[in-house]
Amino acid sequence: MIERWREREVFAESVRRRSGAPAWGFYEGPPTANGPPGSHHVLARVFKDIFPRYKTMCGFYVERKGGWDCHGLPVELAVEAELGFTSKDDIERYGIAEFNDRCREKVLSHVEDWNRLTERIGFWIDLKNAYRTLDPDYIESVWWALKTIHDKGLLYEKLKVVPYCPRCGTALSSHELGQPDVYRDVLDPSVYVRFPVTEPHGAAEPGDQLLVWTTTPWTLVSNAAVAVDPELTYVRAQLEGEPPMILAQGLVERVLGPGAKILNRFPGAQLERVGYEPPFGFIAKSEYGERGHTVLLADFVSDEDGTGLVHTAIAFGEDDFRLGEQYGLNVVNPVKPDGTFDERIGAYAGRWVKDADPDLIEDLRARGRLLRAETLEHAYPHCWRCVTPLLYYAKPSWYIGTSQLKDRLLAANETITWHPERVKHGRFGKWLEGNVDWALSRERYWGTPLPVWRCPAGHIRAIGSFAELHERSGIALTDPHRPFVDVITFPCADCGEPMRRVEEVIDVWFDSGSMPFAQFHAPHRNVEHFEQRFPADFICEALDQTRGWFYSLLAVATLLFDRSSYRNVVCLGLILDEQGRKMSKSLGNMVEPWEVIDRFGADAFRWYLFTSKYPWDEYRFSLETIGEAVRLFLLQLWNTYGFYVLYANANEITDRSADAADATELDAWARSRLNATIELVRERMDEFDATAAGRAIQALVDDLSNWYIRRSRRRFWDGDEAAFATLRHCLITVAQLLAPFCPFLADEIYDNLDGSEPSVHLCAYPIPGQRDLELERNMDVARQAVRLGLAARGQAKVKVRQPLRAAVIVATGPERVAIERLADIVREELNVHELRFVSQADELAEIELKPNYDTLGPRFRQQMPLVAAAIAALEPAHVATALLEGRIIAIAIAGHDHELTADDLVVAMKPLPGFQVEREGSHAVALELEIDDELRIEGWARDIVRAVQNARAGAGLDVSDRILLTLDGDPALLDAARAHERYIAGETLALQVSYESVDGGEPTCVDGRELRVAVAVA
């Protein structure tokens, strides 16, 4: 099929045919191709496929340009691992140009795997013209965006405390902190440290100690100050034989235990300016400035944990940093970018800070400065790529002032339709509400270089195009990556000194967020092309992209164009294993996409992903669950199609027109049912609900198979043109409906049954025709009567082949009219001679009322016998009706009224003698069970037919072969056969029935009597 599509250029043709039609925009969120694609990629790719296919068939022009995300740390890490590097120094020694060459190779190393899988799962996307974020054109568009943002005054550099990965040597943005697996539970030290007061002030007296708590002992080396809340109540508290300690009143018992003596109480404001001796002497008070190593007043202190006195290390906490700014303290940072202490920290110099914790604690203990050391389990952020614990670390970084645009971001979000809707004001809306400025810069190598140049005097110039850079510097760039761009300098327009590029590259999320224009190299070229496709009508990615691509796409568009770049977004859930665990190599529970495709085919994989559940819920995924999807739908469809082909060939039906007049009500029903399905599928697909749409197609195929064909079998045997036309029309339409879901199977069926277009994918999506609502309703009622009747047979253990005298149906008014109109069908299905009607269930059976001990037992306990008696005294028919109407039943027990609901009562039907009843809501059907001789003989005749059919199949006869039939065996059976000879001959295509001895073959048994059957082709 893939071959045929290629040959006939079906994808290109499907787009070409719509040129000039209204455009419907789709943006491909670019994956990275530095590893092979997994099953979750198949999930995203089939959902990115189905709606564009659907919209194309509906008449829209849907361009689908592929894309690859090429830059960023993941690629660098993979190359570092290959080269055995552990730090940025290794990279610089190796050479940035060489390193970036390796990254360039690495990032597209699996593109072929991706392309192969993409084609095999039927994801139609233009991979030949895919955009790549590493291409100079793409980068130039990103530069334009950054310059525009700079010109709006929203791009700035600032010293801030940021989450920082010392291994990767770069800061992370807040949306990277929102990636899954960033927060991991770890054990950290929890230490209470004494800070002896050296300059008493206010409430503090000589000899007192400030009691301070921290979970990062390594930051104590950089202690700059202690913060207290001015209004919180503090105390001087004393343990036996110890100096007085100062801490928050509310924490005394928790920290010091019940034995501490409170000396006095005072508000925190009275501690301001108290001087103390810092826990370590590596950095002098003077380096921090006048307020170094004193108590400061702050607004972020609480008495919920710790001691109420907060250790402040300005370079290592956001609150600390803010407080330092407020009090004019200098930032002193003795931790190097690789996460080790610098030479100022004596014996600890060169050590990874977190590894130094135990020795630092011992040091405090040895000097009598430690009150207590414990451990604490808490969630701590880690680098989402290399799993190194992050440090909060003060460093200069470039930011985009997105927080100034928060209202615009929220307004843009209002224009987006989210699927599921809850994301809009939940996960995504809340994320926008808490917006902080976008930490844009990364001190790395393989990325879009930040196009900002600076002179020694600090003048700044942002460059928006290569031409502009050429003009200023006289140098034409061929590769805008580092290190080539780094050497380009030009004179400052303000002071004439040379301007050099700042070293940073940018967050890769900005690259992918720029794809709406950068994929077309807009605005440098193709402006109109971009504008016609902006914003997109549809994007689709995993739910975790709320803080990734969904955000960056919205943020970039809001910064540049003050609107969202997408109108509809479908969010996809995780793919878990059957036990609900994440799939991972280490658990060995990965299901590789090729495993699924090789075993079940791409259509089955797609069908499972579309219809097994709503895509934003989690998938509990295994090969077995996909097998189930195949069994329940694809096989049924294939068998229905196979049935048509088999009998059409047998009857030499060649007519391909589908508009023969409906010969029967069943034909009319099938077409009406088909039109109902088209309506529903279109409505759901327009709402991006492939799940309900797919299930509607499944229900239709089930109805065709288990009702239309089942009820029309005889007509297919007889070559009834109208039946073939109806079924063919339904199957061709199902193929068209199904084309976006299961493109391979749909095309196979279409091509064989119709083929007037080179592919089903070039057809228009079906448009609903006239429905006969009354007929649909009537058929529903009739089918329900059949279902209940068959259930009653099952209960009575009377096989369907055994005819019964009558079915008695509870039905009045329109329902009765409906069943009467379709009485032949109901009679045949139930295999009864006649239908009778009654208007109320109690004419069929005696209603019995019993207490439900499961609900009432626990409620009434020893009063249960009284309850049972009260229920026995109720009027059963009356109660049954009341419960059906949703009313509540009151009983009185020992003078108290109690209410009973439908859950508390079991309503059973005790059939009248000789009947079996089945009931559902207000509907019921009873079968008369008595089997007289006439019925018995009729039943035998049917059993004989079945035995002959088995013999035909056993002899390998074709469905249309006419036969000569010979019967032998129990005389009573042969009498029955004679009595029903015409019926038997008709059912088995026998031209002649003879009653002679049959030799050989296994005899069959009918109702305990022996029967021998011989068949021969006539």
Which chain residues interact with Zn ion by CB under 5 A?
165, 167-168, 383, 386, 388, 455, 457, 459, 492, 494-495
List C-alpha distances in Å: 912 to 700, 786, 797, 873, 907.
Answer: 38, 20, 17, 21, 16
Q: In this structure, are residues 189 and 343 in contact, taking their beta carbons and an 8 Å threshold?
A: no
AA identity, residue 934: E
Look at residue 229 and give its three-state secondary structure. Answer: coil
Work out how close the CB of 498 gets to Zn ion at its nearest, in angstroms, rounded to a whole number.
Answer: 9
Q: In this structure, are residues 857 and 885 in contact, taking their beta carbons and an 8 Å threshold?
A: no
CA distance 927 to 920: 15
Closer residue to Zn ion, CB minimum distance, 333 or 388: 388
Contacts of 261 (CB under 8 A, 6+ apart): 237, 238, 239
Closer residue to Zn ion, CB minimum distance, 165 or 203: 165
Closer residue to Zn ion, CB minimum distance, 493 or 1017: 493
Q: How large is the angle between the packed helices 593-600 and 602-611, nearest 10 degrees?
A: 110
The dihedral formed by the CA atoms of 778, 782, 787 and 793, expressed in degrees to the nearest 10:
170
Work out how close the CB of 80 gets to Zn ion at its nearest, in angstroms, rounded to a whole number.
Answer: 10
CA distance 119 to 2: 8
Q: In this structure, are residues 879 and 889 in contact, taking their beta carbons and an 8 Å threshold?
A: yes
Closer residue to Zn ion, CB minimum distance, 55 or 167: 167
Work out how close the CB of 503 gets to Zn ion at its nearest, in angstroms, rounded to a whole number.
Answer: 18
Work out how close the CB of 513 gets to Zn ion at its nearest, in angstroms, rounded to a whole number.
Answer: 22
Closer residue to Zn ion, CB minimum distance, 493 or 872: 493
Work out how close the CB of 170 gets to Zn ion at its nearest, in angstroms, rounded to a whole number.
Answer: 8
Contacts of 395 (CB under 8 A, 6+ apart): 159, 160, 162, 164, 171, 337
CA distance 765 to 733: 9
Work out how close the CB of 353 gets to Zn ion at its nearest, in angstroms, rounded to a whole number.
Answer: 15
Closer residue to Zn ion, CB minimum distance, 495 or 587: 495
AA identity, residue 930: E
Tokens for 977, please give them. 């056969």
Work out how close the CB of 444 gets to Zn ion at its nearest, in angstroms, rounded to a whole number.
Answer: 10
Please list the alpha-helical segments (H only) found in 390-495: 406-414, 422-423, 429-433, 466-473
Work out how close the CB of 347 gets to Zn ion at its nearest, in angstroms, rounded to a whole number.
Answer: 27
The alpha carbon dihedral of 100, 102, 103, 105 has a sign of positive
Q: In this structure, are residues 59 and 682 in contact, taking their beta carbons and an 8 Å threshold?
A: no
Work out how close the CB of 305 gets to Zn ion at its nearest, in angstroms, rounded to a whole number.
Answer: 29
Contacts of 95 (CB under 8 A, 6+ apart): none
Length reported for the chain: 1018
Q: Give the strand pairing for 417-419 and 568-572.
A: parallel
User: What is the residue-wise DSSP string for 651-682?
Assistant: TT-------PPP-SHHHHHHHHHHHHHHHHHH
Closer residue to Zn ion, CB minimum distance, 201 or 459: 459
Tokens for 962, please give them. 């006419």
Work out how close the CB of 166 gets to Zn ion at its nearest, in angstroms, rounded to a whole number.
Answer: 8
Residue of 450, 478, 445, 447 whose CA lies nearest to 463: 450
Closer residue to Zn ion, CB minimum distance, 169 or 513: 169
Q: Residue 796 forms beta bridges with which residues?
A: none
Closer residue to Zn ion, CB minimum distance, 388 or 625: 388
Q: Cα 680 from chain centroid?
A: 23
Tokens for 599, please give them. 């075993």
User: What is the residue-wise DSSP string for 735-802?
Assistant: HHHHTTTSHHHHHHHHHHHT-SSS-GGGSPPP------HHHHHHHHHHHHHHHHHHHHHHHHT--TTS
Q: Give the strand pairing for 539-542 and 568-572.
A: parallel
Q: Residue 992 forms beta bridges with which residues?
A: 964
Closer residue to Zn ion, CB minimum distance, 381 or 449: 381
Which residues participate in catalysis according to the annotation?
Answer: 30, 69, 509, 545, 549, 582, 585
Closer residue to Zn ion, CB minimum distance, 350 or 496: 496
Work out how close the CB of 502 gets to Zn ion at its nearest, in angstroms, rounded to a whole number.
Answer: 14
